[in-house]
Amino acid sequence: MKLVLKIPGTSIDFNVTPQYFLSLFDVYDREEDFGEYLNKFDPNNRDDLRFLFKENLFENEITRNFTTAHKAEVAKELLRILNDENFNGDDALLELHGDDFGFSLPSKWDVRDWKDFYLQGYQVVYDNWGSELAEVGLTLTKPVVFEISRLHNR
């Protein structure tokens, strides 16, 4: 029987999908504060994006309570996305827009390269959790490998 992870401090299943990473930047009903803040950053600028992933993925109460198993699930999903030649970030975004909960990215954001968007998230995960995950046997692919692969596929 597979153990089902829960979001720390809740009874809600912890399911990491491409939408999980998009939800870090959800400004629905927060356009005037969080949305304006995020609009100061360019989602196509790698430094801006890494900063925002670090700020929103690592510096919140839930993530601070992640176990190694939670961290591994986050890393594995990013690896799955980066290794999926057919992955389309627009599809992930459309799924969120189709939910009944309401979702929106900042009004000025126009992500031009979804793979790069997720690669920057992966870079931050690799930098912050790579050693810890390697200690439990999950060796992460170095982000530069995905960079090289992307250059060859252009």
Q: What is the pLDDT of residues 6-17, one digit of tens each?
A: 999 999 999 999
Cβ atoms of 23 and 96 closer than 8 Å = yes
* Helix (H/G/I), strand (E/B), else coil: 6: strand
pTM: 0.89
What is the per-residue pLDDT for 130?
A: 96
Tokens of 54: 């670090």
Question: Tens of pLDDT along 83-140?
Answer: 999 998 888 887 765 555 667 889 899 999 999 999 999 999 999 999 999 999 999 9
Mean pLDDT along residues 145-154: 71
Cα 70 from chain centre? 13
Angle at 150 between CA 146 and CA 152, to 5 degrees: 120
Quick one: pLDDT band at residue 28, thresholds 50, 70, 90?
confident
